[in-house]
A = this chain, B = another copy of it.
């Protein structure tokens, strides 16, 4: 749908009259007719969807259909995969990660994960995390609630990994070696709608063998700046950087 910027502030009106350049574009360039809809964007950063009710020699008359719903979701879908960390750290990852826009969370047993959870414990934990995600989604005005999946085996995890468009592996050694630009390169070229999986190790990091497997599956190793971030902090950095690149710039 076409979008027109008007040089006035929005105030609720029976009808809106468009003249000048947008009139010209609607009528002469787009050859619009009554009944067609457009976005009208006002100076005070409000937009409406409006329908053309009449066209005269110098103006288009439109009626408001509804306010444009502001887009609250990241333009790409980011799933955070965390190797099971100790204690309740996943609670924090899910709560803050939901506020910061994650589309989903995956927990998986990494080689250095200390905790061992059986199926019953995993199911209970997943329920708890789903509740945290739901509450954080409401509180932060999300339009969707992130999906939470706690996996029992590495095999299940690698099957999941294979389903994503872009695979980012947060790797401390990249930071130590001064590799800084890879994440920016990825975020600058992802297309709207891309399904990105970002993988984070537990406290002990990802093992060399895990790194090797993920790289063989097209995982891209990324540093997250020169400081060493804890297992639960690194996802916040990645989500914030993605929002900054894709929503603020």
Contact = CB atoms under 8 A, between A and B. Distances in A.
Interface of A: 44-45, 70-72, 96, 99-101, 139-142, 176-181, 183-184, 224-230, 233, 236-237, 240-241, 243-245, 247-249
A236 B233 CA distance: 9
A107 B218 CA distance: 45
Contacts of A139: 228, 230
Dominant secondary structure of chain A at its interface with chain B = loop
Given A72-B227, A225-B243, A248 B180 contact: yes
A176 B71 CA distance: 10
A87 to B, nearest CB: 14
Nearest to A97: B233
Contacts of A96: 230, 233, 236
A77 to B, nearest CB: 15
A245 B188 CA distance: 12
**Best-surrounded residue of A101, A178, A179 (most CB of chain B within 10 A):** A178
Nearest to A136: B230
Contact of A141 (B183, B228, B240): B228
A178 B70 contact: yes
